[in-house]
Structure 1
Amino acid sequence: MSDDFESLGLSSNIIEGCTRNGYNRPYRLHQDVIPGILSGRDVVVLAPSCSARILSFVAPLLDKLNRQPSINSIRALILTPTKDLALEIVKIVRVVAQFTGLRIGLLVGDNKTESLFEELTLQNPDVMIATPDNLKGHLSHVKDMLLHNVECIVLYEVDCLLSLGFAKHLRQILFHINQKHQTLLFVKEIPHEIPPALVYFFKSVTQDPAIVRHHSQIRSTLKLIFFTLSEEEKSAAVLYLINERIRCDEKTLLFVPTEDHAEFLKLMFMDKGIEPSICYRNMDRDERILEVSRFKEGKSMLLITTDVAYQIMITPLADNVISWDFPTPKRFLFRVMKTAMHGPGTAYSFVTREDIPYVLNFRFFLLEELTAAPAPTEEQIMRDADMLEVVSEIDQANARAGDILYGRLPPIKADIYADIVRKLLDASPELKSMVLQQ
């Protein structure tokens, strides 16, 4: 396998752009995808959504375009299902393209952040990034905007494009494109079997494609710790983890089921002097982007989010993940895919009695054993009670990468933090009212 971008066939100015994006060497996904795209072959990629996946097509696509003279016409078209994805992609494209002279256009509707791209959009840039509905509408009103010179089209998260009803738009757009072009399809979900409708679409828009399938696997640097507890103990447990088990220089994602949970936990942490970022779907879009940016830039070390909101953002890097409710195996993998990428990390999951069947299902999904952590003995409790240093085996697992354990919180710590939560609720009528509303 190739250890650097140069051996994959990328030119130096594109490699410099990759470095500016934070990639000093290729991931396995890059090694599997980039050569196929550079060869001109159609490619279908089934891999989790992340910035690494975006780079896997952006780098070779820009490299191919940069090797040819510009013709004042759109030569590459990237279609995404949502405005947020388009904005994330254009950021990466601009960084990679900064040493090439290639012109980048963005077409996703009216937004103040897009005004910088307006002139390029009207001048037929080399690369156009758009949502299908906006591109289709623009084609109807701007006669000078032509697609007959498009050499490559990227359908990013094509399964989402189809599920959102864009199939008709896509076929109308493809009708305007030169028959001889390269097609790159990126699938968001990774089913065990590709649905027949998706297979039919693949066959209709590609010719003998290379298929790259990357299942998310649990990294050896990621520790999995499952805390068995009651619903009422979760607030104390998460406060304990953030205060004592997770270092202040580590970034943590906390997944909660609803926006009410997010607002409640934000207020609880703020009462303890911790200011987290929060993100849920019904937030104002600009506010959501600002909150996630604070987390990415390290201005906040804790991001409280829902799964729905997390699905529409480009996943940020994190050292730890906390799951308030136990997820399905696929959702769990989606949550942890950007965790422990550059060193040890931990995925904490809260497991109630009702969740036990799902934990067993998760064990079969991973094909790994879940080890029960022994509770501290009565002798340990009596010996160390005064120093409050009693910890269970599950707590000690923080020091061992690759452990997969389940057990309870250290009993004395559980009591201490339960008391802290009670005092917070008694001192804050607003916090107490939010508990009653959940």
Structure 2
Amino acid sequence: MESEDDEAYSQLVTKANKKRKKSGGFQAMGLDHQIFKGIMTKGYRIPTPIQRKAIPLILSGKDVVAMSRTGSGKTAAFLIPMFQSLKCRNPAVCIRALIVSPTRELAMQTFKFVKELGKFVGLKAITIVGGDSMEHQFAAIHENPDVLIATPGRLLHVVIEMNLSLKSVAYVVFDEADRLFELGFEEQLREILNRLPGDRQTLLFSATLPRSLVDFAQAGLSEPTLVRLDVDSKLSDKLTLAHIFCRQDQKLAVLLGLLEKCDIIQENTLTLIFCATKHFVEYLYEVLQRLKFKCTYLYSSMDAEARRLNVNKFRRGEAKILVVTDLASRGVDIPFLHTVINYHFPAKPKLFVHRVGRVARAGSTGQAISIISSEEYAYLLDLYLFLGRSLQFSTKATETKSILRFSLHFFVIDNFLNSMKQYGRSKPLCSSESSRRAKSETRLKNLALHPINTFTEVIRSKFYDSASSWHKKKKKAPADSSEVADEYFVPFAPSDLHSEQGYMPFVNLSVDRNSFAATAESAVVDFLDDDAKDIRARDNRMKWDRKRKRYVGSSGEEKTKKIKTESGVWISASYKSDKYKAWRQKLKMGALERSDAVSGGQDKRLKLFRSRKLATAGFLPLSAAVCFAGKGKAKKSSSAGRVRNELKSEQQIFKAHIRKQHQREIERRRAKRSKKPRLSA
């Protein structure tokens, strides 16, 4: 009954905190005073769009999958409801909220944000990340923290070492979930998910939504709600699209001409160039560096610190050009971006929308320029079918500039040529309709002539075209009755069929259109690998098994020893190394006790370690340690889970004083008896 009363009371407080008039700010969300005070102290006044959409859903107790870019305020979007849910510090329960981050840097950044935003709430938060001492992490968990911020690899290692129960966790956040899967943590995430209670609230924040992440969300979340901010329109009305048609070997010259012409790309503006592979990114970076362009680069396998430095260099304007791949650009938010150049045209329409959606934001103008070869023209037709627009051609000749010759190292050129071969084999095919239209396209012949072509080349091409058209038979055109046909014709497919097919690759009639499965399909964007090694590993997943006499799946990884967990999942055997057991024996510690008599099915754990041992070992201060009686055994008390209050009342002090006086009187009488002389017989 107490838990129901507390829940009803918190609902009444939340309702009272809400303003009657909707102000659009944090005041209308019904937050507690301590949380609202921390938000105001941090300097927040108006919630961002992702906060305005996600926070009310999270406060209502729903599982949420939110798509948001880096810098959009997503950290506060899941921390503010967490503070509202946990309310205050509870030293009797261990780990009530779990936040999983892909990298150590992001985990430390989230920890700092928890301390700043929740400074008036009083929750205890710790970090469990790789590179730190595991003994210090064992001691930190023994303090029964409220919030645990961890990377998945070290978290699973600590959980298996300590045999730690996560049944008390009620609030789980997977931050940068697409990055978690990209770094190969899917096995660890599924094992962590199996150890969590079923009545938890799970949140998933991601910049994009790959297919593996949708499957994970459907398996680990309960009726989740998808929060998106880009569903209103595919492309901004203030975005200018331009496509330049050239041969494959002319692309570099076209790009350098674009970067040098100030009337196309404005001065002091930021430009983003998308390439297919990381080797081509390195090659293009070398070219631009030789030609004295201020540029930097990003790709997926880059070190996290180098990635952060390059992004900050581009944001500050020290580099005007950023050369990236699709994988590396996920989650990178550039606020004042003006131009996007597609050096390699994307193979999927949604990938194009994801690229050019970075410009023309918040009412500003922008442009997207694509350099297209004849092999990529069919993908351009696929894009315009998806957008529902008509492709317009220009026949005006433009001026050109001569490009200076320069020399590069041969190994750079060889690397990017080999990677482009792998990319060409692995990229998905265009639709058959667009391929047929690209082959029969005649408007490409009306484009302006290249100024470098000689007079004989132009005349020869015109002669060949006229000779080939002379052999073709003319067919009678049907009578022009389009008005009558349009009036009575009922199409067999809707006008936006290609747009719907671009957003939804397959349609399951048994799935409700309003469900998460249906809405997530429209948001799925699968990125191609940008490294030739990853491309080969993806293509070579089948190998011949001599015992089974057939091809079997192979991940390309070396065989490692594995152990089977309680949930039946096989994980690396290196997670179980008995470090926790050795640490307890060293400090003569008892194990964490579990209490099953906690309301709501949560586990309570007592602080069971010696104050002197931990203080002298340097793990805990003397004030934070809790003494216990016996060697490795906790002192049992009737109120299990309560911490002993060391402050005494007036009655306790008075009784202790009377007891001491009585003891002194007894000792004085004994001393008098011993001093009396004994009579001899």
Structure-2 residue corresponding to 1:329: 349
Deviation at 1:264, TM superposition (A): 2.8
How many residue pairs match? The answer is 380
Q: With structure 2 as the length reference, what TM-score do the two structures score?
A: 0.48
Q: Does 1:206 align with 2:221?
A: yes
Does the aligned pair in 1 maintain the 2:174–2:205 contact within 8 Å? yes
Write the letter of the residue equivalent to 1:240.
Answer: G
* Structure 1 position 137, deviation (Å): 0.5
Residue of 297, 307, 319 corresponding to 1:288: 307
Change (3 A) 1:165 1:326: closer
Residue 64 (structure 2) pairs with residue 64 (structure 1): no
Provide the C-alpha distance between the structure 2 equivalents of 1:220 and 1:100, rounded to a whole number of angstroms: 40
| Secondary structure at the counterpart of residue 328 of structure 2 | helix
Q: Distance in 2 between matches of 1:142 and 1:212?
A: 36
How far apart are 1:95 and its partner, in Å? 3.7
* One-letter amino acid matched to 2:276: P
**Which of 317, 323, 347 pairs up with 2:368?**
347
Residue 66 of structure 1: CA displacement? 6.8
Query: Sequence identity, in percent?
Result: 26
Cα deviation for residue 109 of structure 1 reads 1.9
Distance, in Å, in 2 between the alignment partners of 1:120 and 1:246 is 54
The DSSP-based 3-state class of the residue aligned with 2:327 is: helix
Of 88-97 and 353-362, more deviation after overlay is shown by 88-97
2:117 maps to amino acid: F
The change in CA–CA distance for 1:264 and 1:90 in structure 2 (over 3 A counts) is same
Residue 351 of structure 1, CA deviation: 1.3
- The alpha-carbon deviation at position 326 of structure 1 amounts to 0.5
Q: Output one character per residue of 1:145-203: Cα deviation in whole Å (capped at 9) or x when no partner.
A: 66343221123465776787756544543454344321123466547xx78x956x545
Other structure's SS at 1:361 match: helix
Residues 331, 6 of structure 1: CA spacing in aligned structure 2 closer, same or farther, 3 A cutoff?
A: farther
Separation in 2, partners of 1:329, 1:41? 32
1:339-386, CA deviations, whole angstroms, 9 ceiling, x for partnerless residues? 33342222221111221111111112222333334525xxxxxxxxxx
Q: What is the CA–CA distance in structure 1 between the aligned matches of 2:183 and 2:324, rounded to whole Å?
A: 23
Distance 2:138 2:333 in 1: 27
Q: How far apart, in 1, do the equivalents of 2:138 and 2:242 lie?
A: 49
CA distance in 2, matches of 1:12, 1:146: 33
CA distance in 1, matches of 2:318, 2:40: 27
**Secondary structure of 2:112 counterpart:** helix
Q: Does 1:74 align with 2:89?
A: no
What is residue 613 of structure 2 aligned with on the other side? none
Rate the CA distance shift 1:332–1:111 in 2: closer, same or farther, 3 A. Answer: farther
Do structure 1's residue 363 and structure 2's residue 384 form an aligned pair?
Answer: yes
Return the offset for 1:59: 4.2
- Distance in 2, matches of 1:170 and 1:59, equals 21
Residue 26 of structure 1 corresponds to 48
Confirm or deny that 1:273 pairs with 2:300: no
Q: Secondary structure at the match of 1:154?
A: strand
Flag the structure with higher strand content: 1
Q: Cα 1:264–1:356, aligned 2, differ >3 Å: closer, same or farther?
A: same
Larger mean CA deviation between 68-77 and 296-305 belongs to 68-77
2:158 aligned with 1:138, yes or no? yes
Q: Which amino acid aligns with 1:233?
A: Q
1:252-296 residue CA offsets vs partner (Å, 9 max, x unmatched): 221112333223322332233322111223444432332223223
Q: Read off the aligned partner of 1:32 and give its amino acid letter.
A: K
Bigger mean CA offset, 255-264 vs 318-327: 255-264
2: distance between equivalents of 1:9 and 1:64? 9
Q: Which residue of 2 aligns with 1:98?
A: 116
Distance 1:24 1:64 in 2: 18
Could you tell me how far 1:30 is from its partner in structure 2?
3.2
Q: Which residue of 2 aligns with 1:430?
A: 408
Structure 1: give runs of 5+ residues left out of the alignment.
377-410
| TM-score normalized with structure 1 length | 0.71
Instruction: Identify which range, 128-137 or 31-40, moves more after superposition.
Output: 128-137
Question: Could you tell me which of 256, 264, 275 is aligned with 1:256?
Answer: 275
CA distance in 2, matches of 1:366, 1:231: 25
Q: Deviations over 1:205-226 (max 9, x none)?
A: 4334334355563223332222
Q: 1:67-93, CA deviations, whole angstroms, 9 ceiling, x for partnerless residues? A: 43354843321234x42xx63465356
In structure 2, relative to structure 1, the CA distance for the partners of 1:281 and 1:209 (3 Å cut) is closer
Q: Which amino acid aligns with 1:235?
A: L
Q: CA deviation at 1:98?
A: 1.2
Give 1:87-166 correspondences, 5 Å limit. 87-88=105-106, 90-91=108-109, 94-95=112-113, 97-101=115-119, 102=123, 104-110=125-131, 125-142=145-162, 147-156=166-175
Q: Is the Cα–Cα contact under 8 Å of residues 343 and 371 in structure 2 kept in the other structure?
A: yes
CA distance in 1, matches of 2:272, 2:128: 31
Match of 2:245 among 223, 228, 241: 228
Larger Rg: 2
- After TM superposition, the structure 1 stretch with the greater mean CA deviation from structure 2, 208-217 or 11-20, is 11-20
Task: State how far apart, in whole Å, the 2-side matches of 1:2 and 1:365 are.
Answer: 39
Separation in 2 of the partners of 1:99 and 1:268?
45
